[in-house]
């Protein structure tokens, strides 16, 4: 609790210190007096970078200016946000590639390995339509551990091969396997195991990899065995919504904190296992349905 309070105090100081206002002809994306840019990333309301610029605390974006261009982190996490999609209720974030590396004798190399924990939690869930789970390696078994609703969920795939020559140029099961994931996953961890600690294939593949990635943005080829060694982050898509698992359009519309404004519609998240609702401009209207000004008609 003390930690949470001090973070809020820092945020209040930050908002008092900065008074940047942007005026543009396009419909406002952020609240009046609030910036809508972190570098070249647009941060539309309900997201915001200061306490009085966001709808709920889970829509806080930490825009860190210690990097050039600035980096947008989701809430208080180290997940980097690279796109916010208002209409779809989606977010593109960068996710760690899980890695388990071995030395020539089959000893596990702790310093070169990464055990990813994707600690997203509702109203954020992992998109099942935009992502796949991939495991890369020739002595590799990868397990996804996650929550779905209140239940624990486990899935995964494995890939065993003997030579680089047998590895295909697409993720088809030799050197790389991919699986669909169900909707509504959150709090996800990846566990990598091997059968012979990569000893028989070490000369061309000393590491196993496992990760969720946006479909189409990871293209497997035999060089992935080395490439993944360096690119530790890959894009993936998370779903977001307003509210929690008990919020539907029907119940939310009766409450004072209903988030859909003028000329917009409420839509329930259609996917099983997901939470809350989204707002969308009525046909013929455009803008930001979450903004107090609502959506505007064609001028
Ligand atoms: C944002 O900036 C980065 C680096 O400056 C650039 O690579 C990227 O293409 C830019 N994105 C857009 C949407 O302009
Ligand atoms: C924002 O991110 C930076 C860089 O990771 C971190 O140092 C800082 O504590 C974060 N701020 C908040 C409010 O989480
Ligand atoms: C194989 O790797 C596991 C960790 O993944 C380790 O506990 C075990 O000692 C290793 N076996 C050998 C023979 O080094
Ligand atoms: C998900 O992770 C968060 C952060 O570690 C934790 O507070 C929460 O209890 C976890 N939820 C479940 C269902 O394990
Ligand atoms: C992976 O990177 C490490 C250093 O980060 C390097 O020592 C190793 O040779 C690389 N492995 C491959 C297969 O490229």
Ligand 4 near 9 CB (within 6 A) = no
pLDDT digits (tens, 9 = 90+) for 181-236: 999 899 999 999 999 999 999 999 999 999 999 999 999 999 999 999 887 899 99
Please tell me whether residues 188 and 219 are part of one structural domain.
yes
Residue 271 pLDDT: 57
Residue 20 pLDDT: 40
Share of the chain above pLDDT 90, in %: 76
Please tell me whether residues 15 and 48 are part of one structural domain.
yes
Distance 107 CA to ligand 3 centre (A): 5
Mean pLDDT of 267-284: 81
Ligand 4 near 145 CB (within 6 A) = no
Indicate which atom in ligand 1 lies nearest the CA of residue 40.
1
Distance 206 CA to ligand 5 centre (A): 9
User: Please, which contacts does 58-67 make with residues 24 or more away whose CB atoms are closer than 8 Å?
Assistant: 58/123, 58/124, 59/240, 63/38, 63/39
CATH number, residue 281: 2.10.25
Task: Give nearest CA residue, ligand 2 atom 12.
Answer: 76
Mutate to test the pocket of ligand 2, among 48, 73, 77 (most ligand atoms within 8 A of CB): 73
Contacts of 173 (CB under 8 A, 6+ apart): 159
Task: Answer whether residue 244 shows pLDDT above 80.
Answer: no
Average pLDDT for the chain: 88
Q: Which ligand is closest to the CA of 152, given by its number?
A: 4
Please tell me whether residues 80 and 117 are part of one structural domain.
no
Ligand 1 near 69 CB (within 6 A) = yes
pLDDT higher for 107 or 18? 107
Please tell me whether residues 157 and 223 are part of one structural domain.
yes
Task: Answer whether residue 23 shows pLDDT above 70.
Answer: no
Residue 269 pLDDT: 78
Mutate to test the pocket of ligand 4, among 187, 245, 273 (most ligand atoms within 8 A of CB): 187
Please tell me whether residues 31 and 102 are part of one structural domain.
no
Q: Tell me the C-alpha distance between 71 and 67, whole Å.
A: 6
Please tell me whether residues 126 and 196 are part of one structural domain.
yes
pLDDT digits (tens, 9 = 90+) for 105-115: 999 999 999 99
Confidence of residue 243 (pLDDT cuts 50, 70, 90): confident
pLDDT digits (tens, 9 = 90+) for 109-148: 999 999 988 989 889 999 999 999 999 999 999 999 999 9
Distance 229 CA to ligand 5 centre (A): 6
Nearest of 64, 68, 61 to residue 46 by alpha carbon: 61
Residue 26 pLDDT: 62
Mean pLDDT of 250-264: 92
Residue 246 pLDDT: 74
Please tell me whether residues 177 and 276 are part of one structural domain.
no
Q: Which of 55, 87, 119 is the last residue of a domain?
A: 87
Share of the chain above pLDDT 70, in %: 88
Q: Which ligand is closest to the CA of 40, given by its number?
A: 1
For the four alpha carbons of 214, 216, 220 and 221, in that order, the dihedral sign comes to: negative
Please tell me whether residues 82 and 106 are part of one structural domain.
no
Q: Which of 53, 87, 121 is the last residue of a domain?
A: 87
- Which residues span the domain enclosing 113? 95-239
Task: Give nearest CA residue, ligand 1 atom 12.
Answer: 40
Please tell me whether residues 173 and 225 are part of one structural domain.
yes
Residue 276 pLDDT: 86
Please tell me whether residues 59 and 16 are part of one structural domain.
yes
Please tell me whether residues 77 and 170 are part of one structural domain.
no
Residue 27 pLDDT: 65
Q: Which of 39, 59, 87 is the last residue of a domain?
A: 87
Confidence of residue 248 (pLDDT cuts 50, 70, 90): confident
Extended strands (E) in 202-297: 207-214, 233-239, 264-268, 277-281, 285-287, 295-297
Residue 12 pLDDT: 35
Given a contact cutoff of 8 angstroms between Cβ atoms, the answer to whether 275 and 149 are in contact is: no
Contacts of 211 (CB under 8 A, 6+ apart): 95, 96, 97, 98, 116, 133, 134, 190, 218, 234
The tally of domains found in the chain comes to 3
Please tell me whether residues 170 and 35 are part of one structural domain.
no
pLDDT digits (tens, 9 = 90+) for 61-78: 999 999 999 999 999 999
**Alpha helices, DSSP H only, in 143-275?**
224-230, 249-252
Indicate which atom in ligand 5 lies nearest the CA of residue 225.
13
């Amino acid at each position: 609790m003390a930690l949470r309070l001090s973070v809020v105090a820092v945020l209040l100081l930050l908002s008092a210190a900065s008074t940047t206002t942007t005026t543009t002809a396009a419909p406002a994306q952020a609240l009046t007096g609030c910036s809508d840019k972190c570098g070249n990333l647009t941060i539309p309301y309900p997201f915001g970078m200061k306490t009085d610029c966001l709808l709920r605390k889970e829509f806080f974006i930490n825009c860190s200016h210690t990097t050039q261009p600035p980096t947008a982190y989701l809430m208080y996490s180290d997940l980097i946000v690279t796109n916010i999609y208002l209409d779809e209720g989606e977010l593109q974030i960068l996710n760690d590639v899980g890695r388990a590396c071995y030395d020539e004798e089959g000893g596990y190399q702790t310093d070169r390995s990464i055990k990813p924990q994707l600690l997203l939690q509702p109203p954020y869930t992992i998109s099942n339509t935009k992502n796949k789970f991939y495991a890369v390696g020739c002595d590799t078994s990868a397990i996804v551990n996650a929550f779905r609703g209140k239940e624990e969920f486990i899935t995964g795939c494995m890939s065993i091969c003997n030579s680089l020559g047998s590895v295909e140029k697409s993720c088809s099961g030799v050197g790389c396997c991919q699986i669909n994931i169900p909707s509504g996953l959150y709090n996800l961890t990846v566990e990598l195991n091997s059968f012979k600690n990569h000893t028989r294939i070490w000369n061309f593949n000393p590491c196993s990899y496992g990760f969720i990635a946006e479909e189409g943005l990871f293209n497997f080829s035999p060089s992935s065995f080395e490439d993944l060694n360096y690119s530790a982050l890959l894009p993936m898509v998370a779903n977001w919504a307003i509210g929690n698992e008990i919020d539907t359009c029907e119940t939310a519309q009766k409450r004072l904190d209903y988030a859909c404004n003028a000329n917009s519609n409420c839509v329930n998240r259609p996917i099983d296992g997901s939470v809350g609702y989204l707002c969308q401009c009525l046909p013929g209207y455009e803008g930001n349905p979450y903004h107090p000004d609502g959506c505007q008609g064609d001028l």
